[in-house]
A and B are shown apart, each in its own frame.
Chain A
Amino acid sequence: MPRVVMRVNGKEVSGEVEPRTLLVEFLREHLGLTGTHVGCDTSQCGCCVVHLDGRSVKSCTVLAVQCEGAEVLTIEGLARNGELHPIQRAFHECHGLQCGFCTPGMIMSALELLQRHPAPTEPQVRAWLEGNLCRCTGYHNIVRAILQAAEEMRQAPRPAA
């Protein structure tokens, strides 16, 4: 079986994987990073979004072997020294989740939006979330949370996540 080496949340990791192993399976089953969820497994719902070399991707639609040498960031990599990332905190404060199943993907998707557009408009936030489905919240508080996090991150920027 091929051996794959990548950096996940800043640490070098490796594993023997079948070529058909998905990135999300590698994260959850080989590394035990179960914060990244699988909702649909058909590239639709966005529960599995992580960052791959700085871009948000659906990790159910990437093979682990394609990530050789890559930099991966998952929801587990966001908090620093036990302190939540501003987007995580805003989801908590704005009631941006109910069951929480979609939340890791929502937050990782929102992170790329705010890296590219530090001051998004509400329609921009809604359009960006096209690939993230939530069965519970009706999206409204998710959008509020992202706008609040944007504001906070503009005022107190922290070094790149």
Chain B
Amino acid sequence: MYAFEYHRPASVAEAVRLLREKPEAKLLAGGHTLIPTLKQRLAQPSDLVDLGGIAELRGIREEGGALVIGAATPHGEVETSDLVRRTIPALAHLAGEIGDPQVRNRGTIGGSIANNDPAADWPAAVLGLGATVRTDRREIAADDFFTGMFETALEADEIVTAVVFPRPRRAAYAKFPNPASRYAMVGVFVAETDGGVRVAVTGAAPCVFRLTALERALAANFAPEAVDGVTVDASELNSDIHASADYRAHLVKVMAKRAIASALG
């Protein structure tokens, strides 16, 4: 690791001020992506601004029928939250499938979506439920937030403060984990919401995406069989040492069926 200065602000406003003063600074949340990156000297921030001391960023609450998860809330807290299990159980399930218990004790939802790893789990839920990402300065719709591989709509000095999840009629997530890393080889989130059916796929392509052909099919018939009539185009999907694009295309359909079956309970 290269040397850096460390700051532990007590408020979001102070954290933003630090980011503006130190153009080479980076935010530190759970550190479970950033610290490994620093160890490999793949990044050299001058300063780390730790969000761990900002109480307002942590916690889960209901707000006008929606579920609001603070950006610095660890995955494990979402997994075990009674409120989440009661309102959107698919989120507790998804959080419980991330990494291992120690990763879930540290890693946060804000860090996960800001990082936008192509194989991360949270982006599937955020896009699949049509959630809203709240930052220190604005609200960003999920459809506008994830812009590419490790890319988001966030500005350099912008801080995610919470994610607002509207309550779906039903929803579920099914993931085929990479047996070594536990990241998603393919993960599919399906939701029947007041605004229609949404399907988000992670792990398969450079960035999480919506499978609109399946959304249309499910709008007509919300059942696992609806997947059979849908073609998944492998030409846009990733091929790597873990899986070929064709195999991922196949997994998308298998995971979609499992997610739909599980949403139907």
Q: Which residues of A contact B (CB under 8 A)?
A: 2, 18-20, 22, 41-43, 46, 49, 52, 55-58, 61-63, 65-66, 68, 109, 112-113, 128, 130-132
Contact = CB atoms under 8 A, between A and B. Distances in A.
A58 B101 CA distance: 10
Interface residues of B, number: 26
Contacts of A18: 3
Contacts of A68: 8
Nearest to B38: A20
Given A56-B101, A58-B106, A65-B8, 4 more contacts: A20-B2, A20-B38, A62-B35, A109-B102
Contacts of B100: 46, 130-132
Contacts of B131: none
Nearest to A108: B102
A18 B48 CA distance: 13
Interface string B43-60: 000001010100000000
B31 A62 contact: yes
10 cross-chain pairs, A with B, having the tightest CB-CB distances, nearest first = A131-B100, A19-B6, A130-B100, A20-B1, A55-B105, A131-B102, A58-B102, A65-B6, A61-B35, A56-B102
Contact of A57 (B38, B39, B102): B102
A19 B28 CA distance: 12
Contacts, number: 72
Contact of B31 (A46, A55, A66, A113): A66
Nearest to B34: A61
Interface string B1-26: 11111101000000000000000000
B101 A128 contact: yes
Given A42-B39, A66-B52, A109-B102, A61 B31 contact: yes
A101 B8 CA distance: 34
Interface in B95-114: 99-103, 105-106
B48 A49 contact: no
Q: Which of B4, B8, B105 has the most CB of A within 10 A?
A: B105
Contacts of B103: 43, 58, 131
Contact of B105 (A20, A41, A56, A63): A56
B76 interface: yes
Nearest to A20: B1
25 contacts: A2-B6, A18-B3, A19-B5, A20-B1, A20-B2, A20-B38, A22-B35, A41-B39, A52-B105, A55-B105, A56-B105, A57-B106, A63-B6, A65-B50, A66-B8, A66-B28, A66-B50, A66-B52, A112-B101, A113-B101, A128-B101, A130-B101, A131-B99, A131-B102, A131-B103
Nearest to B105: A55
Contacts of B8: 65-66, 68
Contacts of A66: 8, 28, 31, 50, 52
Contacts of A41: 39
Contact of A49 (B28, B31, B50, B102): B102
